[in-house]
Amino acid sequence: MFKVSNIEKEKALLLAPMEDVTDISYRLVCRELGADVVYTEFVNAEGIIRKNEKTHKKLKIIDEERPVGIQIYGGRVEAMIEAARIAESHNPDIIDINAGCWVKGIVAAGAGAGMLKDPVGMQNTIKSVIDSVETPVTVKTRIGWDHDSINILEVAKRLEDIGVKAITVHCRTRSMGHKGDADWEWINKVKEVVSIPVALNGNVLSAEDVVRAFNDTKADAVMIARGAIGYPWIFKDAKALLAGLPIRDEIPYDERIRVCLRHLKLATEVKGERRAILEQRKYYSGYLKGLVNASHIRQELMKILEYSIVEELLLKYEQQLSQLEHAYANFVQV
């Protein structure tokens, strides 16, 4: 059972924090398609306390997306405390601490996965954060720094001892980055040493993987990252499979185009038309994957800077696909 804050969910599905991906618009789309909890992209504690404008935008959350966690990272305890207080003023359901980011500059500052090198220091920093806010604090981490220093069991225990409400374990070491197989077996080992909820993360790329993750481990939740980029239906599909229902082989083109436009429309409302259109470009390959003539349409979309023109192009494309579908159906009947 994933029980944190006001959230109480068996086999919860979490949308992972992802930089430049999990902004409000995408979080809303994933919530609408079945994600139980969503997280902001990681937000730099130093940027928060310096009142950096771009950083502060990442703290914005809206009621429609709840439950939502704000994820922060940093290596300096004073900065983490202050940043957590500021994050709390945005009223998230969870404050999540990133202890898993593998990027060089971040770990060098003792933040992200750098925390795993000093479990006592990590414990002290996170305890200071917990003592400074009312909001439940969770932690997302990895199994260890490298293959020879896997310390997730010690870390998980230390985190539970100081009052962390749940942990997400990315079942890779820091030295693996995002490559190689995530070893889910660590989830069962972690569940043996702590009683707080444990979320499994790493290599959950399809709805079938979600089912396998729950069947093979005692995870209370599964956190999906890359599997959700451009394919927010992974949550809906996974929920259907978990309920023993069939899922569609593929999402129909009209639904894909509709969700893509909804995503873009939400993004324009949140961050303005020009930025939304530019940022949406990275999603088109996911939304249009496998559709007839998709690469040509993608190229056209890359040239457009207005929502109304994107909408016009995509709706016209939807019409063409519909005509093709009918022509094919007639041909098969003949």
Which residues would be at the binding site for ligand FMN (CB under 6 A)? 16-19, 21, 41-42, 71, 98, 100-101, 140, 170, 178, 201-204, 224-227
Cα–Cα distance, 167 to 178 (Å, whole number): 19
Across the chain, where does the E strand assignment appear? 2-4, 7-9, 12-15, 37-39, 43-44, 68-73, 94-99, 137-144, 167-173, 198-201, 221-224
Q: Which is nearer to ligand FMN, 145 or 317 (CB)?
A: 145
Relative orientation angle of helices 294-301 and 307-333, to the nearest 10 degrees: 170
Q: Is 30 a residue of the active site?
A: no
Cα–Cα distance, 163 to 184 (Å, whole number): 24
Q: How far is the CB of 126 from ligand FMN (least distance, A)?
A: 15
Give the other-Cβ count within 10 Å of 246's Cβ: 8
Q: How far is the CB of 316 from ligand FMN (least distance, A)?
A: 31
Q: Which is nearer to ligand FMN, 142 or 297 (CB)?
A: 142
Q: Which is nearer to ligand FMN, 61 or 224 (CB)?
A: 224
Q: Which is nearer to ligand FMN, 119 or 227 (CB)?
A: 227
Q: How far is the CB of 87 from ligand FMN (least distance, A)?
A: 14
Contact (Cβ atoms closer than 8 angstroms) between residue 169 and residue 152: yes
User: In 3D, which of 75, 76, 39, 77 has the Cα closest to residue 58?
Assistant: 39
Give the other-Cβ count within 10 Å of 304's Cβ: 16
DSSP assigned state of 43: E
Q: Which is nearer to ligand FMN, 67 or 202 (CB)?
A: 202
Q: How far is the CB of 231 from ligand FMN (least distance, A)?
A: 12
Cα–Cα distance, 22 to 266 (Å, whole number): 13
Q: How far is the CB of 217 from ligand FMN (least distance, A)?
A: 14
Catalytic residue positions? 101
